[in-house]
Structure 1
Amino acid sequence: MFSIIQAAGWPIWPLLLCSVIALALIIERLSSLRARRVAPNGLLDDVLGVTQKQLPAADVVDRLEESSLLGSVLAAGLRAVSHDTKLPEEKLRQVFEFAGRRAVHQLERYLNTLGTIATAAPLLGLLGTVVGMIEIFGSQTPGSGNPAQLAHGISVALYNTAFGLMVAIPSLMFHRYFKGRIEAYVLELEAGADRLLSQLKRFTAH
């Protein structure tokens, strides 16, 4: 591996940095976007069951908020109604929407960076290719040639192109995968907030 890096020349170092960052972001997002941390199975049904007759206590709402992103959205509505039983439906809906936007921001964290790496990695590989081509042409003087310089230029061009694609393709695939999961989670958060909103309207004065 070290010999490949030496053969690829200095243009490969930005690609190596991008690969390390991309790997760290992918691992972090795989951990953060697990269903247990976003929308655990049965959580919404449990909340609806608890709030069917009365509002839960403040410590229960606090634990709900800390449990997951869906829990934080549901807890925001519960806390708002507990603080003001005369809260209009429109205001309560705004509370849920604001909490939902914060949850979506958490879901989409680092995705822009991963998408940027997926876009920039081929361009960095292309930069290495251009540098290699410059070295190739620079080694060819009229009436003579430098085979070692020619081979080095070819190595720089090919290794950087290949490594740029090796970084970009997985980054792009995971970026699309995470976007799809986030869209599914957003729909689940919206549906959960809407169901709890319908139930909480019974506790507000009209």
Structure 2
Amino acid sequence: MKLLFQIIRPAIIALALFMVSTTVTSRIANAAEVNPPPTVEAQDKSLLDLYSDGGWTMHFIALISVGTITIITYCATRIRSKKLIPPALERSLELAMSQQDVSAALQVCEGDSSSLSHVMKETLTKAGAGVEVYSKADLEAVAAETIFHEETKFMLWVNMLNAFAAVAPMLGLLGTVSGMIGSFNQLAAGASKPSDFAGGIGEAMITTAFALIVAIPSMLAYFVFKNLLQSIVGDLAYSASNLINRFISGSGVGASSDEA
């Protein structure tokens, strides 16, 4: 009998513990149903609310976003092949340069503000100033100098996109550091609830997100317009060289200096 009791004693203890745990669990469940915990509904925040929660660095990020949009609009309207190398202007210059009519070519350039007109105007004005013979080397040297100036003029704006893409994440990081400092100050003051840290953490995350939203399109636009400008500058150099060859291959004024 004693041996039988020792065998079934662990089973009796386990059954008793199971019954006690079941009873306690049911009572806790009933209490939760009678007094349910208060639920916090998620609030939808507007863009203005997010801007306000982002802190003071959001003002600088907003300025960079406005500058980025402005420069992208400028580059999209100006850095275009038809704007910098108008087909109608190129045909008019081909006719004038083939006839070696310098005055007609300069007159055509005066009525246009494209890069091609600037290049040919400077080429004919500088290389022909005070000399009677236009040498191909002089024309190509002045054309290359003017093309470099035109490329630099537009790259100034394109490089601003690269600067904005680099500065925006740094401002976002600054906002992140500012928000975390605010959260640690709350912790040092004795705050212990999650809601006490929500403001600082929200500022840290919002500024980072908005900074990346500005930086990513700015970086993409930088590479797009940089490659586009390089391609157009290559076409501009080819067009200028073609016009110079047409001018040199003519008669009269286009004779080489050795022939003179």
In the superposition, the TM-score normalised over structure 2's length comes to 0.71
Structure 1 pair 142/81, CA: closer, same or farther in 2 (3 Å)? closer
Q: In the comparison of the two structures, how many residue pairs are matched?
A: 205
Q: 1:120 to 1:17 in 2, by over 3 A?
A: same
Asked whether the 8 Å contact 1:135–1:149 carries over to 2, the reply is no
Q: CA offsets, 1:68-100, max 9 Å, x none? A: 111211222333465433233322221111211
Paired amino acid for 1:29: C
Q: Do the aligned residues in 2 keep the contact of 1:39 with 1:69 (CA within 8 Å)?
A: yes
Deviation at 1:204, TM superposition (A): 3.7
Partners of 1:126 and 1:11 lie apart in 2 by 10
- After TM superposition, the structure 1 stretch with the greater mean CA deviation from structure 2, 110-119 or 147-156, is 147-156
Structure 2's unaligned 5+ residue stretches are 1-46
Q: Which of residues 187, 211, 220 is equivalent to 1:140?
A: 187
Displacement over 6 Å in runs of 4+: none
Supply the distance in 1 between the matched residues of 2:133 and 2:65 (Cα, whole angstroms): 54
- The one of 127, 141, 149 equivalent to 1:102 is 149
1:47 maps to 93
Identity rate of aligned residues, in percent? 27
Alignment of 1:103-142 (within 5 A): 103-141=150-188
1:46 is aligned with what amino acid? S
Who wins on radius of gyration, i.e. which is larger?
2
Does residue 1:13 correspond to 2:44, yes or no? Answer: no
TM-score (norm 1): 0.88
Q: Residues 64 and 72 of structure 1 are in contact (CA less than 8 Å); yes or no, is this contact kept in structure 2?
A: yes
Correspondences of 1:157-168 after superposition (within 5 Å):
157-168=204-215
TM-superposed deviation, 1:148: 4.2
CA-to-partner distance for each residue in 1:37-77, whole Å, 9 max, x for gaps? Answer: 2112353343222322231425x514425341112112223
Amino acid in the other structure paired with 1:75: K
**Equivalent of residue 106 in structure 2, options 29, 54, 61:** 61
Bigger shift: 9-18 or 69-78? Answer: 69-78
**Equivalent runs, 1:162-201 vs 2, <5 Å:** 162-201=209-248
Provide the alpha-carbon RMSD of the alignment: 2.1
Unaligned runs of 5+ in 1: none
CA contact (8 A) 1:85 1:204 kept: no
Higher relative contact order (CA 8 A, sep 6+): 1
